[in-house]
Amino acid sequence: MCRGLTPTAPLPKSPGRARGEQRVIHSQDDALGSAVLAVALHGAMTPGFGSLMQDVLWCFSQVKGTTDTGVTESDIISTVEFNHTGELLATGDKGGRVVIFQREQESKNQPHRRGEYNVYSTFQSHEPEFDYLKSLEIEEKINKIRWLPQQNAAYFLLSTNDKTVKLWKVSERDKRPEGYNLKDEDGRLRDPSMITVLRVPVLRPMDLMVEATPRRVFANAHTYHINSISVNSDYETYMSADDLRINLWNFEITNQSFNIVDIKPANMEELTEVITAAEFHPHHCNTFVYSSSKGTIRLCDMRTAALCDRHAKFFEEPEDPSNRSFFSEIISSISDVKFSHSGRYIMTRDYLTVKVWDLNMENRPIETYQVHDYLRSKLCSLYENDCIFDKFECVWNGSDSVIMTGSYNNFFRMFDRNTKRDVTLEASRENSKPRAILKPRKVCVGGKRRKDEISVDSLDFSKKILHTAWHPSENIIAVAATNNLYIFQDKVN
Amino acid sequence: MLGRGLKRKLSDYEESMAGLSSAFDSSRSLPYPLKRQLVLNMCLTKLQTYKMLVEPNLHRSVLIANTVRQIQEEMRQESSQQPVNICPGIAPASHSYTGMESPGIPLQLPSGVEDISPPTCLVPTGDDQPKFPENTGLKLEDDRQDLKGAECVFGSFEISNSTSYLKDLAIDDIFEDIDTSMYDSDFCCPPLMPPRSPSLATEEPLKTFPSCNSSSANNIQICRTDLSELDHIMEILVGS
């Protein structure tokens, strides 16, 4: 029996029973007089769980993308993001396109088939540009997509490439007006002198059309490459971060932004550190964090000063001298930082580990998880082929109890923070039968390789999972493997 | 800089580098200085490659530059504790030039200690640390350079010495030992002989000058000119 992780969605299996409480049926209470004693499994150990602790089995649900062995560069997925309800799933690719999937309504006829994601809208978000002043090509690759919370019938998202952030409105149209006076059905203008009758246009139903329109373009504010965007909890502002600066924008204003962090030294010769990721606190609209290439995280409060050069908190773990190598600094560079949904923790990803930090403790993380420590002895080769610079992202599940991140060979890893168990799974076409349960994978470090294990030297470093996303409330994950998007769900009993 | 006619095969380089980094990873018997040298070479090569890009990746450049700095600092501390040796011991110094003149030249490490970049193995100055050639191009008054990022990262290396370094030395001293045919520019000379481990004490390098158009008697004259052209060439290289 394949074992996975404890469930995260708060789906009560036995409603009405408090956590940890055993359920005992007393024969004398039972009207039928049955002598069945049911001993409940030990309840969940932490708040927020369902009351039964049960292993989650991850199953294949869908895969999007071609099966061609040759990958077109522009099809490589560069970002994945669920919206706040999980109804929509957006991907951005190297070709500057955004594809949005929508979850279909669950049907009563097929209760075991949870809603599948189908293409909802596709549009070209960014085009390649040329900066004439510097003779530079600006890549159209979508670095990040962030959704705004839904406030009306339309959906809004931010997408960014290296230099420009755009606000897109995605809306549905299922009616159209007919019966204009001044133009006929084809849109051609009618000769006004020929009009003898006035009529009121009426709305008639039409096939559903989903259209995406760029509502705002926030350009020319970044000298260096944008690596992060983050929507503030006030829903009126957002920030964009590049290697050396972070800017604060108001959604309504495109020709101005406030610079809130600037780490560019007066003399570029003295530059030793860059910003690698930034995010707003999920609830406190004045608080944000940014991570650096030196493995540190700074938490800033915008109320203290207009320019947040002085951090309110500084998170750094002292280096472990036993692990010191020439590559120590490179592998300590943080590639992603994410607040927990609760806002109490931050998670960081560096090359070999994922760390969870408590906002109240700056001198070390409270948890450290090894993603692929077997690579520690391969660092020179990984440096030589540039893999050491790969930027892996990390995500929380809805209840902040499980964290997930990607690795090589199309492997991705999940860590249960409560049970301290972890699992390695693989996104591959071979495991892609509908509702097939994913088998845990294992990398064998040395010595005898067991059957089904894969040795470190056989790992395919060109198959890297950098981008993953977790549904905000359910056990549904989206994993981007080069040009394919895999969707996995937990097995519904 | 290689003379005309000698092709450097990129694939060979890549293979040798891959072999070296595997050796680094798997071998516990590689001596530490050698490992350090390998890493330094890789760093410098990468930086050199980035220099050729229109827009180098700032993040990577910073990380690599920091690594180089760290290694150099370590070497600095070590050599400040030891008496300074000429050449073979100062392998690091040689590689700055190697990196400059030909990105990707196969760095045959085990023999790299007796490296083929003689000028740098010479009389050590007070500061005998590996120079960072790219820095000569870091005229940071130029905003455009500023924005390029990568080059500007390396400001802390004292590269400004390198060009004057050569001028200060008596040219005759240099030419007793050194085979500078490597530094001949295109319009001057010849295909190179494959680099030989120079033995500094011998006069041989003069004799091994490849088929120069001029007679061997003129070699010294030619090389004198070469040296002043070396500065010029360096400026072109790093300034480009």
Write out pLDDT tens, residues A393-442: 999 999 999 999 999 999 999 999 999 999 999 999 887 888 889 999 99
Contacts of B147 in chain A (CB under 8 A): 134, 223
Chain A residues in contact with chain B using a Cβ-Cβ cutoff of 8 Å: 134-137, 223-225, 243-244, 267-274, 276, 293, 326-327, 329-330, 333, 377-381, 383-385, 389
Contacts of B154 in chain A (CB under 8 A): 269
pLDDT of residue A244: 97
CA distance A159 to A279: 15
Examine the pLDDT at A298 and tell me if it is beyond 80.
yes
Who wins on pLDDT, B171 or A15? B171
Dihedral, CA atoms, B49, B53, B57, B58, nearest 10 degrees?
Answer: 90
Contacts of A136 in chain B (CB under 8 A): 54-55
B49 and A CB contact within 8 Å = no
Examine the pLDDT at B148 and tell me if it is beyond 50.
no
Facing residue for A136 by CB, picked from B55, B60, B138: B55
Q: CB A361: neighbour CB atoms within 10 A? A: 11
pLDDT of residue B11: 55
Residue A216 vs residues A158, A223, A242: alpha-carbon distances, Å: 9, 20, 19
Q: What is the mean pLDDT of residues A447-451?
A: 78
CA distance A55 to A418: 13
Query: What is the Cα A130 distance to its own chain's centre?
Result: 29
Residue pairs between chains A and B whose CB atoms are closer than 8 Å:
93
The 10s digit of each residue's pLDDT in A95-151 is: 999 999 999 987 777 666 678 999 999 999 999 999 888 888 899 999 999 999 999
Strand partners, A339: A346
Distance in Å, alpha carbon of B144 to nearest chain A alpha carbon: 8
Distance in Å, alpha carbon of A477 to nearest chain B alpha carbon: 30
Contacts of A276 in chain B (CB under 8 A): 59
Closest by CA to A479, choosing from A68, A81, A86, is A81
Q: What is the mean pLDDT of residues A330-341?
A: 98
| Residues A5 and A423 sit within 8 Å (Cβ to Cβ) | yes
Distance in Å, alpha carbon of B199 to nearest chain A alpha carbon: 32
Examine the pLDDT at B119 and tell me if it is beyond 50.
no
pLDDT of residue A4: 39
The 10s digit of each residue's pLDDT in B83-99 is: 655 444 333 433 333 33
pLDDT of residue B228: 74
User: What's the distance, Cα to Cα, between the start and end of chain A in Å?
Assistant: 14
